[in-house]
Amino acid sequence: MNDQPTKYSREFAIQMDEEDELHAYRAEFYVKEGSIYFDGNSLGLLSKRAEKSMLLLLDSWKKYGIDGWIEGEYPWFYLSESLGGKMASLVGAAPEEVIVTGSTTSNLHQLISTFYEPKGMRTKILADNITFPSDIYALKSQIRLKCYDPDEHLVTVNSRDGHLLSEADIIESMTDDILVIVLSSILYRSGQILDMKLLTEEAHKRGIIIGFDLCHSIGSIPHQLSKWEVDFAFWCTYKHLNGGPGSVGALYVNKRHFGKEPGLAGWFSSRKDKQFDMEHDLTQANHAGAYQMGTPHVLSVAPLIGSLEIFDEIGIESIREKSLELTGYMLELINHELIEYEFVVRNPEEDSKRGGHIYLEHPEAARICKALKAKHIVPDFRTPNGIRLAPVALYNTFEEVWKTIQTLKTIMDEEEYKEFDNKRGVVA
Ligand SMILES: *Cc1c(COP(=O)(O)O)cnc(C)c1O
């Protein structure tokens, strides 16, 4: 008799959890009792350290009033720079290349208004046809602000299957009229990782500026933005970074662009020692801080102090390693248990191309998600027929993955999803 548990048994999952070096971190998060949260790629869970830093900054307001800008444990005036420095290791950048500011969309506006300076025949922006809508809206409005027609000046690479992009297709679209490229590091639906190093090299060979939206890769996979010489990047902090609803975003600008005038300037673009001179000529900061605008949203930055400490302690490499094990295990279970039910796996299966979540399609996806929620499992529905499942390395377990796939199997076996209508809710 062999008493090794088989791969598909609950015992196997439990054994994986016992061997997991990050397992202890789960206790640092507020995981709702009796429920399984697989939506950390939309809104990460609250950690006790983030809660603590949030309360600490609230207290600094109570204690210091206006002097909180320069007093207390985390003086507010320097917070955007200091946290940018802490985030830099997650994107592989120098500390001064990253600043915590704005939101994904407002940072994209800032960076495009800075780098999109159409001249001669180079007047176009290249993006793709399956990216997040906000990015496209921002690019179109920036093109309009330069008095061009987005129909002509926004070029999109088309996905061949509606889910994945081919790097070769993207490179082929890098023509002489393209000035700036904006792509996602990880596609928000299929979770495909784009080869940022290759795309940056190819863009630069052709004299094109390139930037990435890191919303789904920040805190999920390692990056080497400086080494790859990526020109700019921007991201939110409420997904894998667990900064809380509406937490402040961040941006990266490569060193060689320092000194470039911000397209959208404000008094926080200033060199810090000059800011309170109140001159009408801006002396811009000589680092990524120049691309801030106004007063930082201190209370929406505060949870990041605690949250980033966790990433710093563990290191992104170990987080990625566990994340790959979790998603790899989930895929194996899906391929074994759900084979007879019309599910199609839309994320790339190979490790080098697979981000932090699994993306399934099913014609009944909306009501399958409702059936999961009724059983206290939180997935993420993407219209019209997508189910995103994000087992997060910091707080999810192998046993939760096992339970979820078992539950999905029961929902399908017993046709429990038929008790719900196949329509989406307001948010997901
Ligand atoms: C989540 C997400 C956004 C959200 O933008 P906000 O300005 O933070 O609301 C934008 N782009 C991508 C790719 C995203 O995944």
189 lines ligand 1 (CB under 6 A): no
127 lines ligand 1 (CB under 6 A): no
Residue 428's pLDDT is: 60
| Amino acid code (one letter) for 149 | D
Question: Taking the model in full, what pTM does it have?
Answer: 0.97
CATH fold of 51-313 reads Aspartate Aminotransferase; domain 2 (3.40.640)
Give Cα separations from 188 to 43, 83, 298 (angstroms): 13, 25, 28
CATH of domain 10-30+315-419: 3.90.1150.10
Residue 423's pLDDT is: 77
156 lines ligand 1 (CB under 6 A): no
123 lines ligand 1 (CB under 6 A): no
User: Strand order of the sheet with strand 124-128?
Assistant: 98-100, 250-253, 232-235, 209-213, 178-184, 124-128, 154-157
Among protein residues, the one with the nearest Cα to ligand 1's atom 13 is: 132
Q: How far apart are CA 239 and CA 161, in angstroms?
A: 26
Is position 116 annotated in a ligand binding site? no
| Ligand 1 centre distance from Cα of residue 411 (Å) | 31
**Which of 9-13's residues contact partners 24+ apart within 8 Å by CB, and which partners?**
10/399, 10/402, 10/403, 12/398, 12/402, 13/329, 13/397, 13/398, 13/399, 13/401, 13/402
Residue 2's pLDDT is: 55
Chunked into runs of 10 residues, the chain (428 residues) has average pLDDT values of: 78 97 97 96 98 98 98 96 98 98 98 97 98 98 98 98 97 98 98 98 98 98 98 98 98 98 98 95 98 98 98 98 98 94 95 97 95 96 94 98 97 94 73
